[in-house]
C-alpha cells in the first residue's frame, strides 16, 4: 500500500529528527553555500506582546553537506549513477539541445562519451536524441541505419550490470526501446528487447513485464519459450489469473483442447482486472490480424467471452451494461428508436446541406484528425472532424459547420451524450480496417451517408453488412466487431453520431467514461 504523507509533516519530522544528515536546517542552503538566515537577527512577536530578540552564529556547510543538498534537489537523480554524478553539468547542458537541436545534442553527447566512455546517461541520451532527428532529408538506407543503431543501443544498455546503469534508466530503456520497435514494425527486435528485459525482471515491482513477454511469445508462436516463461511467471505470481488464461490459450493453440478447457474453466477475473485484461487481449488480437493470424485471434476472443471478459466473441465492450436488447444492426422502424423520428427526419431532409458543409471543410486538410498509426488500421487511413466529443461542443469546429451544429443542438440526446461523438468521418480510398469494436454497449451509432462510393462495405459481427447509402441513416451497435473496406478510388464520407441505447435509464445515459476509456477510445 502506498501511503501519502503531507510535505509539511515530512519537513517537520526532518527538522526535529536527531539522526538527520548533518545539515543545519530543513530549508536548504543559500547561494553562498551557507545555511539560510544565518547571521541575521530574528525578531519574534509573542501573543502577549513581549518581544524576544536573539542571534545565532552562521554554520557554513562542508563539502559532504553541500553534496547531500545537491543530490536531494537534483531533478535527474533517478537517471544519474555515481559515475555520471561528477559530470552532471556536462550532461545537463547537452540535454537542453535534445528536442530543438538534436544534431548539436548528439555532438555534445558523443564528445562526453569520448572522454567518459562509461557514462550510461550520455549513452542513453544519445540514443534518445537519435529518435528526435529530422529524417525528412534522409534516404531510406540512412533511416534504416538509425533504426538499427537505436535498437542496438537499447539492447546494449539492457545487458549492462546493475551498478553500471540507474534502475529508472533501465526501465526506460525497455519502455522506449519497445515503443520504437513497435512503431517501426520491428517484431523480432521487440521480442529481443522483451527477452533481455525478462532477464532483468527484478527491476519490476509487479507482474506487468511478464505479461508483455508472454503475450509476444504467444503471438509469435514461440510456444515452447512461452511455456517456459509462463512456468516462471506462475511460480512468481501463482494467483495471476491472466497467466492461467494464457496457459489455457497456449494449450488450445497446441491442440490440447481437453486440458485447455479444464484450465480455462478455472480462470476467474476480479471485476477490477477486466478492463486491463480486455485491453491486452484486444491488442493481441489486432497484432495477430496484422500478422495474418486471424484464426488465432478468433480463438482468443471466443475463450475471453467464456471467461466473461467480453459479452460474446463478437460483442466486446469494455464498459458493459447487462440485459440490454442487443443486435448488430437496428432498423429505423424498431419501436425503441422511434422516439428520435423527428431528429432523424430533420437529418435526412438536411443531408445535402450537411454534405455541402462537409465537402467545404474537406478542402482544408489541416482541419481533420488523421487516425494513421492506430492499431486497427490495416492499410490506408481515416480522417475525423469532431463537432461534439463526449457530450461537449467543439466551439471552433461548430463555427465552420454551423448548420450541422445547429441541428445537433436540438438533437441533445446525441450532442450531450457523454459516451459518444458527433463528427464527420472520411474513409480514404484503398483503406482496410481490421475487425475492432467500440467501448460500450450503452450506445447506438448512426451513419448519415454523404458520399458512398461503389466498393465500400462494412461488416458487423458475423455476416451482417451495413447498407450505407447517400442521404439515408443506418443504425448499428459499435460494441460489436466491425470491419471496413473501401476498395474504390474515392473517399467515403459519413456523418457519424452516437446516442444512448434505448434500454438504458436516464441516469445511465448521463454517466461518463473514466479517463482511461476516453483516452483509449477517443477515435472510436
Choose between 426 and 170: higher pLDDT: 426
464 bridge partner residues = 460
- Please report the pLDDT score of residue 14 as a whole number: 31
Q: Are 446 and 496 in contact (CB under 8 A)?
A: yes
The CA distance from 179 to 516, in Å, is 19
Name 89's Cβ contacts closer than 8 Å, sequence gap at least 6.
none
- Please report the pLDDT score of residue 36 as a whole number: 45
- Report the Cα 324 to chain-centroid distance in Å: 30
Query: Which secondary structure element, helix H or strand E, spans residue 262, and what is its range?
Result: helix 257-265
pLDDT, tens digit, for every residue of 381-392?
Answer: 999 999 999 999
Name 264's Cβ contacts closer than 8 Å, sequence gap at least 6.
245, 248, 249, 252, 303, 306, 307
- The stretch 86-99 carries a mean pLDDT of 94
Per DSSP bridges, beta strands 41-45 and 329-330 are: unpaired
Q: Is the pLDDT of residue 150 over 90?
A: yes
The sheet carrying 482-486 orders its strands as 377-379, 431-436, 482-486, 456-460, 464-465
Q: Which of 131, 61, 125 shows the shortest CA–CA distance to 88?
A: 125
- What angle do helix axes 402-410 and 351-362 make, rounded to 10 degrees? 130
Q: Are 87 and 116 in contact (CB under 8 A)?
A: yes
Q: Could you tell me the domains of the chain?
A: 7-72 (no CATH), 82-306 (1.25.40), 329-520 (2.60.120.330)
Query: Which secondary structure element, helix H or strand E, spans residue 9, and what is its range?
Result: helix 7-16
Per DSSP bridges, beta strands 443-451 and 421-427 are: unpaired
Between 157-161, 355-359, 458-462, the lowest mean confidence (pLDDT) is in 157-161
pLDDT band of residue 408 (cuts 50, 70, 90) is: very high
Per DSSP (E only), the strands in 338-481 are: 369-370, 377-379, 382-389, 392-393, 421-427, 431-436, 443-451, 456-460, 464-465, 473-476
CA-to-CA separations, 32 to 40, 63, 64, 131, in angstroms, rounded: 15, 13, 15, 40
What's the burial of 407, exposed, middle or buried (CB within 10 Å: 0-12/13-18/19+)? buried
Cell 477510445 appears where?
521
pLDDT band of residue 54 (cuts 50, 70, 90) is: low
Give the rounded percent of residues in the chain with a pLDDT score beyond 70: 89
Long-range CB contacts (within 8 A, 24+) of 310-315: 310/278, 311/441, 311/479, 314/461, 314/462, 314/480, 314/481, 315/437, 315/441, 315/461, 315/477, 315/479, 315/480, 315/481
- Please report the pLDDT score of residue 207 as a whole number: 84
Burial per residue of 288-322, b for 16 or more beta-carbon CB atoms within 10 angstroms, e otherwise = bbbeebeebbbbbbebbbbbebbbbbbbbbbbbee
- The stretch 457-469 carries a mean pLDDT of 95
Between 129-133, 155-159, 198-202, 254-258, the lowest mean confidence (pLDDT) is in 198-202
Between 28-32, 96-100, 510-514, the lowest mean confidence (pLDDT) is in 28-32
pLDDT, tens digit, for every residue of 261-318?
Answer: 999 999 999 998 999 999 999 999 999 999 999 999 999 999 999 999 999 999 999 9
Amino acid at each position: 500500500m502506498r501511503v501519502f504523507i503531507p510535505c509539511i509533516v515530512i519537513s517537520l519530522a526532518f527538522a526535529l529528527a536527531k539522526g538527520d544528515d548533518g545539515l543545519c536546517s530543513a530549508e536548504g542552503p543559500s547561494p553562498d553555500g551557507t545555511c539560510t538566515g544565518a547571521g541575521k537577527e530574528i525578531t519574534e512577536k509573542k501573543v502577549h506582546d513581549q518581544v524576544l530578540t536573539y542571534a545565532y552564529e552562521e554554520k557554513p556547510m562542508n563539502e559532504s553537506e553541500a553534496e547531500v543538498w545537491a543530490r536531494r534537489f537534483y531533478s535527474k537523480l533517478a537517471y544519474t549513477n555515481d559515475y555520471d554524478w561528477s559530470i552532471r553539468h556536462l550532461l545537463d547542458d547537452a540535454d537542453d539541445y535534445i528536442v530543438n537541436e538534436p544534431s548539436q545534442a548528439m555532438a555534445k553527447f558523443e564528445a562526453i562519451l569520448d572522454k567518459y566512455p562509461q557514462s550510461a546517461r550520455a549513452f542513453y541520451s544519445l540514443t534518445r536524441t537519435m529518435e528526435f532527428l529530422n529524417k525528412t532529408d534522409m534516404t531510406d538506407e540512412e533511416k534504416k541505419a538509425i533504426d538499427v543503431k537505436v535498437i542496438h543501443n537499447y539492447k546494449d544498455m539492457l545487458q549492462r550490470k546493475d551498478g553500471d546503469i540507474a534502475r529508472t534508466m533501465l526501465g526506460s530503456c525497455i519502455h522506449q526501446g519497445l515503443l520504437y520497435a513497435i512503431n517501426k514494425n520491428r517484431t523480432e527486435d521487440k521480442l529481443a528487447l522483451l527477452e533481455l528485459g525478462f532477464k532483468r525482471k527484478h527491476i519490476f515491482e509487479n507482474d506487468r513485464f511478464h505479461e508483455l513477454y508472454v503475450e509476444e511469445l504467444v503471438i509469435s508462436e514461440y510456444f515452447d519459450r512461452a511455456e517456459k516463461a509462463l512456468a516462471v511467471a506462475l511460480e512468481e505470481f501463482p494467483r495471476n489469473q491472466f497467466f492461467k488464461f494464457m496457459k489455457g490459450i497456449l494449450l488450445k493453440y497446441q491442440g490440447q483442447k481437453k486440458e485447455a478447457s479444464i484450465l480455462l474453466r478455472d480462470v476467474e477475473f476480479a471485476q477490477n482486472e477486466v478492463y486491463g485484461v480486455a485491453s491486452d487481449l484486444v491488442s493481441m488480437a489486432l497484432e495477430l490480424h496484422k500478422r495474418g493470424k486471424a484464426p488465432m485471434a478468433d480463438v482468443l476472443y471466443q475463450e475471453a467471452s467464456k471467461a466473461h471478459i467480453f459479452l460474446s466473441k463478437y460483442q466486446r465492450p469494455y464498459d458493459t451494461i447487462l440485459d440490454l436488447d442487443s443486435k448488430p444492426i437496428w432498423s429505423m422502424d424498431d419501436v425503441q428508436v422511434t422516439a428520435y423520428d423527428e431528429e432523424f427526419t430533420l437529418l435526412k431532409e438536411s443531408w445535402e446541406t450537411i454534405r455541402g458543409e462537409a465537402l467545404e471543410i474537406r478542402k482544408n486538410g489541416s482541419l481533420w484528425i488523421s487516425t494513421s498509426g492506430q492499431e486497427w488500421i490495416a492499410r490506408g487511413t481515416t480522417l475525423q472532424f469532431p463537432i461534439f466529443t463526449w457530450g461537449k461542443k467543439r466551439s471552433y469546429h461548430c463555427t465552420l459547420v454551423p448548420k450541422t451544429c445547429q441541428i445537433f443542438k436540438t438533437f441533445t440526446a446525441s450532442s450531450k451524450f457523454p459516451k459518444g461523438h458527433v463528427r464527420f468521418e472520411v474513409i480514404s480510398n484503398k483503406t482496410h480496417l481490421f475487425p475492432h469494436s467500440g467501448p460500450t454497449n450503452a450506445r447506438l451509432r448512426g451513419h448519415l451517408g454523404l458520399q458512398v462510393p461503389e466498393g465500400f462495405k462494412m461488416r458487423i459481427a458475423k455476416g451482417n453488412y451495413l447498407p450505407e447509402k447517400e442521404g439515408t441513416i443506418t443504425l448499428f451497435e459499435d460494441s460489436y466487431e466491425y470491419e471496413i473496406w473501401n476498395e474504390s478510388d474515392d473517399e467515403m464520407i459519413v456523418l457519424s453520431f452516437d446516442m444512448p441505447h434505448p434500454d438504458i435509464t436516464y441516469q445511465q445515459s448521463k454517466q461518463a467514461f473514466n479517463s482511461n476509456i476516453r483516452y483509449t477510445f477517443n477515435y472510436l
